[in-house]
Amino acid sequence: MNAQQKTGTTTGTATAHRVVILGAGYAGMAAAIQLAARVKGRDGVDVTLVNAQERFTERLRLHMTATGQQTAELSIPQLLEGTGTRFVRGWVTAVDAEAKTVRIDDDRVLPYDTLVYGLGGVADTSAVPGAEDHAYTLSSAQDAELLAGRLERLAGGTVVVAGSGLTGIESAAEIAERHPRLSVVLLGRQEPGATMNPKAKAYLHAALDRLGVQVRNRAEVVKVLPDTVELAGGESIAADAVLWTSGTRTSPLAAAAGLSVDDRGRIVTDATLRSVSHPDVYAIGDAAAIRQGYGVMHGTCQGGMPTGVHAALSIDRALRGKQPKPFRFGYYHTPVSLGRGDAVVQFTRPDDTPRRICLTGRTAVRYKETVTASPWPTYGRMKKMPASGAFWPRGGRFTRLKGTK
Ligand SMILES: Cc1cc2nc3c(=O)[nH]c(=O)nc-3n(C[C@H](O)[C@H](O)[C@H](O)COP(=O)(O)OP(=O)(O)OC[C@H]3O[C@@H](n4cnc5c(N)ncnc54)[C@H](O)[C@@H]3O)c2cc1C
């Protein structure tokens, strides 16, 4: 019997090992479904999934939500039916890593033997004065709906999108397409598509130009006011709405619990996705700082789902007295929507540097939609065939850490 099994406590008549998964985003859902499918029919393992809402948030579509488009109603409890996983709806307010408990809505306490931490990340509005108070974000479906309401009410004026990363680009394009009466300004330190190959980047710029998005590179926002954005150098841009997409930060819960975190609050993991300070805690998705041969992974759905699956496999192995395996993941694409009728897909090397090949136009739109729609059916398949969710590019030499095979 290994350490994890020894810690199981008696619930009812059976001694159960309690696995609590925090966050039912892309990574947490993958972890819950994969683990439930692996331990199904086996006595002694309880899986509980905690999330703020019962509806699954398709983060990849939040720029659509922000422009008033309806997305599918995906019910987490319904998907979990038949898996044996318990769903707890609530807001996690604290983790006690010594007592091994999680506090929900400040009034319920859930004990765990193994914790999977997948609470994701939010837009970092703390970096610039005024952003927290005056800027909209795409941190949750509710935040996106707030922006949708504001845009709907504007008869004209300017929307400033701060941050020229992928979320900023997709949002600026979507807003310009859906609300042609509004001027859209995309501000960022780097030019949009900076990491793409010249062909993909040129296509992206031409699409933003066609949609009327004004791109401002090397722009550093220093202050957000109710109706203005101030830039370094003294320039001000009048703004009827500001969308903040620059940078991400994670929940302070992990740091407050005494877990080792990096400078963005992400839990630092070992090669098997366990916290380096608390091995009974696994960290997945955007909330984890996971080192690969090319560096620390950045937050994506393409990498987040594999981390959830891998954490489940590691927990299952540990419960069966086996050694968890190292996690390896190599990127393969950067799909970017440019409104509903256009897109560009940059294929990448495992370290996320661009390959020469890219897709554009209708082919890219179909590719992007296939990718965006794929997580939910993938979870459904995993319920019956857990192995179907365990395929992803391992990244070859790019992901190998020194001293590992
Ligand atoms: C507009 C947009 C477009 C994107 N496009 C792409 C793309 O094309 N490809 C790609 O790979 N990535 C894309 N991303 C990034 C991708 O969405 C994230 O990397 C991914 O969602 C991370 O998954 P996660 O499970 O770690 O976190 P999340 O999906 O954010 O899930 C976290 C979950 O935890 C819940 N939660 C958080 N805090 C608490 C709490 N205290 N209590 C209870 N529940 C809590 C949240 O409600 C949520 O359900 C995009 C992001 C945005 C915003």
CATH fold label, 125-192+201-244: FAD/NAD(P)-binding domain (3.50.50)
pTM, two decimal places: 0.94
**Measured from the CA of 286, which atom of ligand 1 is nearest?**
26
CA atoms of 181 and 155, how far apart (whole Å): 7
Is residue 103 scored above 60 in pLDDT? yes
Mean pLDDT of 124-137: 96
Residue from 87, 119, 331 whose mutation best tests the ligand 1 pocket (most atoms within 8 A of CB): 119
Is residue 403 scored above 80 in pLDDT? no
397: CA distance to ligand 1 center in Å? 28
Which H or E run contains 145?
helix 141-153
Residue from 53, 59, 61 whose mutation best tests the ligand 1 pocket (most atoms within 8 A of CB): 59
266: CA distance to ligand 1 center in Å? 14
88: CA distance to ligand 1 center in Å? 18
Which H or E run contains 48?
strand 45-51
Mean pLDDT of 136-164: 98
258: CA distance to ligand 1 center in Å? 23
E strand intervals along 260-314: 267-268, 281-283, 288-289, 291-292, 295-296
Q: Which two tokens mark 110?
A: 């859930």
Whole-number pLDDT of residue 14: 53
Q: Nearest CA to 59 among 300, 250, 256, 337? A: 300
Single-letter residue type at 284: I
What are 169-183's pLDDT values in tens digits? 999 999 999 999 999
What are 314-327's pLDDT values in tens digits? 999 999 999 999 99
Residue located via tokens 């859906």: 178
Mean pLDDT of 141-149: 98
Q: Nearest CA to 372 among 138, 27, 61? A: 61
* Span(s) in the chain for CATH 3.50.50.60: 3-120+251-329+375-399, 125-192+201-244
Backbone φ and ψ for 274, nearest 5 degrees, come out as: -85, 145
Burial class for 400, CB neighbours closer than 10 Å (0-12, 13-18, 19+): middle
What are 295-348's pLDDT values in tens digits? 999 999 999 999 999 999 999 999 999 999 999 999 999 999 999 999 999 999
139: CA distance to ligand 1 center in Å? 8
What are 9-32's pLDDT values in tens digits? 444 445 899 999 999 999 999 999
Q: Which two tokens mark 376?
A: 């939910």
Q: Which two tokens mark 125?
A: 């509005």
Alpha helices per DSSP H over 211-265? 253-256
The CATH superfamily of 3-120+251-329+375-399 is: FAD/NAD(P)-binding domain (3.50.50.60)
Burial state string for 281-300 with b = 16 or more CB within 10 A and e = fewer than 16: bbbbbbbbbbebbbeebebb
Residue located via tokens 């008869």: 155
